[in-house]
Amino acid sequence: MIVLTGELILEFLKNLENHLRNLREELDISQVEELITSINSSKNIFIMGAGRSGFVAKAFAMRLMHLGYSVYVVGETVTPKIKKDDLLIAISGSGETSSVINVAMKAKSMVGSKVAALTSNKNSSLARLSDVVVTLKGKVKTEKDEKISKLAPLGTMFELTSLIFLDALVAELLNMKGLDEEDLKERHAILE
Amino acid sequence: MIVLTGELILEFLKNLENHLRNLREELDISQVEELITSINSSKNIFIMGAGRSGFVAKAFAMRLMHLGYSVYVVGETVTPKIKKDDLLIAISGSGETSSVINVAMKAKSMVGSKVAALTSNKNSSLARLSDVVVTLKGKVKTEKDEKISKLAPLGTMFELTSLIFLDALVAELLNMKGLDEEDLKERHAILE
Amino acid sequence: MIVLTGELILEFLKNLENHLRNLREELDISQVEELITSINSSKNIFIMGAGRSGFVAKAFAMRLMHLGYSVYVVGETVTPKIKKDDLLIAISGSGETSSVINVAMKAKSMVGSKVAALTSNKNSSLARLSDVVVTLKGKVKTEKDEKISKLAPLGTMFELTSLIFLDALVAELLNMKGLDEEDLKERHAILE
Amino acid sequence: MIVLTGELILEFLKNLENHLRNLREELDISQVEELITSINSSKNIFIMGAGRSGFVAKAFAMRLMHLGYSVYVVGETVTPKIKKDDLLIAISGSGETSSVINVAMKAKSMVGSKVAALTSNKNSSLARLSDVVVTLKGKVKTEKDEKISKLAPLGTMFELTSLIFLDALVAELLNMKGLDEEDLKERHAILE
The reported pLDDT for the residue numbered D146 is: 75
A154 falls within a domain: yes
Mean pLDDT on A101-125: 97
> What is residue D144's predicted lDDT score, i.e. its pLDDT?
60
Question: Residue D48 phi/psi, 5° resolution?
Answer: -150, 155
Asked, for residue B86, whether it belongs to a domain, the answer is yes
Cross-chain CB nearest to A77 (options B61, B103, B107): B61
Pick the closest to residue A151 from A3, A49, A18, A55 (CA basis): A18
Q: Are D184 and B151 in contact (CB under 8 A)?
A: no
**Mutation site for B-interface testing, chosen from C74, C99, C103, C159 by largest number of B Cβ within 10 Å:** C99
- Residue C3, pLDDT score: 81
In a domain, B130, yes or no: yes
For an interface test with D, give the residue of A97, A99, A109 to mutate (most D CBs within 10 A).
A99
pLDDT of residue C146: 75
Q: Is the pTM of this model over 0.95?
A: yes
Q: Are D127 and D101 in contact (CB under 8 A)?
A: no
Give, for all 192 residues of chain C, the pLDDT tens digit.
678 888 999 999 999 999 999 999 999 999 999 999 999 999 999 999 999 999 999 999 999 999 999 999 999 999 999 999 999 999 999 999 999 999 999 999 999 999 999 999 999 999 999 999 999 988 755 556 778 889 999 999 999 999 999 999 999 999 999 999 999 999 999 998
Closest CA to B190 of A81, D91, A99, A73: A81
Residue A138 confidence class, pLDDT cut points 50, 70, 90: confident
Three-state secondary structure call for residue D180: coil
CA nearest D184: which of B141, A59, B46, B114?
B141
Within-domain flag for C118: yes
Which percentage of chain A shows pLDDT scores above 70?
Answer: 96
The enclosing domain of C151 has a CATH number of: 3.40.50.10490
Q: What per-residue confidence (pLDDT) applies to A146?
A: 75
User: Which residues neighbour D20 within 8 Å (Cβ) at sequence distance 6 or greater?
Assistant: B13, B16, B17, B20, D161, D164
* Minimal-distance CA residue of chain C relative to B49: C75
Of C24, C63, C153, the CB nearest to A174: C153
Average confidence (pLDDT) over A143-159: 86
Q: Is residue D66 part of a domain?
A: yes
Shortest Cα distance, chain A CAs vs residue B165, angstroms? 19
DSSP H helical segments within B74-192, as ranges? 98-106, 125-129, 146-151, 156-176, 181-185
Domain housing A172: 7-184
Q: Which residues of chain D have pLDDT under 70?
A: 1, 140-144
The pLDDT of residue A189 is 97
Spatial distance between the Cα atoms of D147 and D8, rounded to a whole number of angstroms:
11
Q: Measured between CA atoms, how close is A57 to chain C, in angstroms? A: 10
Distance CA A120, CA A133 (A): 10
Q: Is A102–D106 a contact, with Cβ atoms under 8 angstroms apart?
A: no
Number of domains chain A contains: 1
Q: Is B159 a catalytic residue?
A: yes
Inter-chain touch B174–D163, beta carbons under 8 Å: no
> Residue type for D85, please?
D
What CA–CA distances, in Å, run from C39 to A89, B102, B159, C43? 36, 30, 36, 9
Express each pLDDT in A81-110 by its tens digit. Answer: 999 999 999 999 999 999 999 999 999 999
In a domain, A56, yes or no: yes
A154-181 mean pLDDT: 96
- Write down the pLDDT at residue A143: 57
**C190 in a structural domain:** no
Q: Does A140 score more than 60 pLDDT?
A: no
Q: What is the DSSP string of C122-152?
A: TTSHHHHH-SEEEE-----TT---HHHHHHS
What's residue A1's pLDDT?
A: 65
Q: Does residue D2 lie in a domain region?
A: no
Please name the amino acid found at residue B172. E
In this prediction, residue A126 has a pLDDT band, given cuts at 50, 70 and 90, of: very high
Å between D111 CA and nearest CA of chain B: 23
What does each of the 192 residues of chain B score in pLDDT, given as a tens digit? 678 889 999 999 999 999 999 999 999 999 999 999 999 999 999 999 999 999 999 999 999 999 999 999 999 999 999 999 999 999 999 999 999 999 999 999 999 999 999 999 999 999 999 999 999 988 755 556 778 889 999 999 999 999 999 999 999 999 999 999 999 999 999 998
Number of DSSP helices (H) and strands (E) in chain B, helices first? 8, 5
